[in-house]
Amino acid sequence: MSLIAAGEPRQKFTIASLREKKFHHQPITCLTAYDYPSARLVDEAAVDMVLVGDSLAQAVLGHDNTLSVTMEEMLHHTRAARRGVKHALLVGDMPFGSYQVDAAEAVRNAARFVKEAGAEVVKVEGGEKRADLIRRIIDAEIPVAGHIGLTPQSVNVMGGYKVQGKSLSGVEQLMRDATALDRAGVAFIVLEGIPREVAALITAEVQTPTIGIGAGPDCDGQVLVIHDVLNLTFGPPAKFVHRYGDMKALIANAIQAFRDDVAGRRYPTDEESYHLPKETRTALETVLERKQAMRR
C-alpha cells in the first residue's frame, strides 16, 4: 500500500489513478476549492482531486442554492483553481442549465471547461437519465463524473435537501442510476446524501470509484466542501460535516485586531513604514526650515 504523505514527491493523479486506488482499496480524497490559494493548499496537502463545485454559489458567492451560478462564473473560478493545482485531478462542475437543455450545447459547455479553464474532468448531476448525454461528452474525449442521490440542482424537484434512497423503490432507483453511470464509463460517481447501507451496496456493485458526501464510510473516497471543513459558513452544518479548523474565528479575530490597532494608532509602526534616504531627508529639512524662516 502506498499512501503518500503531504510534502512527499508525488505523481500526477489521473483518472487511471482513481481505478487503481479502488482496486487496491486505498481511500480517495477530494475537496472543493474555488480559487488559487485554496486550490494550491489542497494540492500541496496531497489531496487526490480538487473539485470546483457549483457549491461556489453558496460558499463564495452568497446565493441560497446552486441554481443561479453561471458557466462564466464556473469557468472564472476553475481557471483560478487551475493555477494552483499541479498534481491533483481538477474537476469542474457543470452548472444548472449548462447540460440539461440540449446535448450539443452540453458537449460545447463541457469542452469549454477543458479548453478555457483547464479542467480534466467535468461533473454532471443525475443517473440513468444522463447516461446518453454522458456517453456523448466522453465521445468528445472529455472525462465525466456522475453525481447521484441528493443532487442539489434538483432541489425544487426533491422539495428540499432530503436524504435520498430511504425506501426500497428509492434504493432500486439509486442502484439503476449507479449501474447506468458505471456502464456509461464515468470516471467516478459522487454519492451524496444517501444511507450508508445503500452507498456500501453501490460501491461493492460498480467498477467505478464512488466518492461519498453524507454517504457514510464505505465509499471508495470522500469529498467535502472546503468552507465546511474550515468553518467558513454561516448556517448550521449538515450532519456529515466534520470541522477540521476554525477559519471563521481566525479571520474574525485578525480583522478585529487590525481594526483595534488602527483605531488605537498602534498600526502601522515606524518599522512598518518606508523612510526617505538620508540625503533626501537632509535636503528636505533644509527646504522646510527655509520656508518656515520666510513665513516669520
Q: What is the smallest separation between the CB atom of 82 and ligand KIV, expressed in angstroms?
A: 17
Of 80, 1, 90, residue with least CA distance to 43: 90
- Whether 173 and 152 have beta carbons less than 8 Å apart is answered as no
Among 43, 48, 93, 182, binds ligand KIV (CB under 6 A): 93
> Which of 144, 225 has the CB closer to ligand KIV?
225
Contacts of 127 (CB under 8 A, 6+ apart): 146, 148, 173, 174, 176, 177, 178, 180, 181
Strands (E), the chain: 28-32, 49-52, 89-93, 121-123, 144-149, 189-192, 210-213, 221-224
Among 43, 48, 54, 228, binds ligand KIV (CB under 6 A): 54
128 a catalytic residue:
no
Instruction: Compute the distance between CA of residue 110 and CA of residue 141 in angstroms, rounded to an integer.
Output: 10
How many residues touch ligand KIV under the rule CB under 6 A: the total is: 12
> Which of 237, 268 has the CB closer to ligand KIV?
237
DSSP character for 130? G
> Which of 186, 223 has the CB closer to ligand KIV?
223
Tell me the one-letter amino acid at 219: C
Contacts of 156 (CB under 8 A, 6+ apart): 67
> Which of 7, 236 has the CB closer to ligand KIV?
236
Q: Which of 141, 172, 192, 197 is catalytic?
A: 192
Among 15, 53, 174, 228, binds ligand KIV (CB under 6 A): 53
Number of Cβ atoms within 10 Å of the Cβ of 211: 30
Instruction: Compute the distance between CA of residue 216 and CA of residue 194 in angstroms, rounded to an integer.
Output: 8
Applying the rule CB under 6 A, the residues between 124 and 163 that interact with ligand KIV are 147
Burial tier of 66 (Cβ tally within 10 Å: 0-12, 13-18, 19+): buried
Contacts of 219 (CB under 8 A, 6+ apart): 191, 199, 203, 210, 211, 212
Among 145, 190, 200, 206, binds ligand KIV (CB under 6 A): 190
Applying the rule CB under 6 A, the residues between 12 and 41 that interact with ligand KIV are 32
Q: What is the smallest separation between the CB atom of 54 and ligand KIV, expressed in angstroms?
A: 5
Determine if 223 is a binding residue for ligand KIV (CB under 6 A). yes
Determine if 48 is a binding residue for ligand KIV (CB under 6 A). no
Residue range at the interface with ligand KIV (CB under 6 A); choices 41-49, 53-61, 170-178, 243-251: 53-61
> Which of 195, 214 has the CB closer to ligand KIV?
214
Determine if 221 is a binding residue for ligand KIV (CB under 6 A). no
Pairing of strands 49-52, 28-32: parallel
Interface residues with ligand KIV (CB under 6 A)? 32, 51, 53-55, 93, 147, 190, 192, 213, 223, 225
Catalytic positions: 192
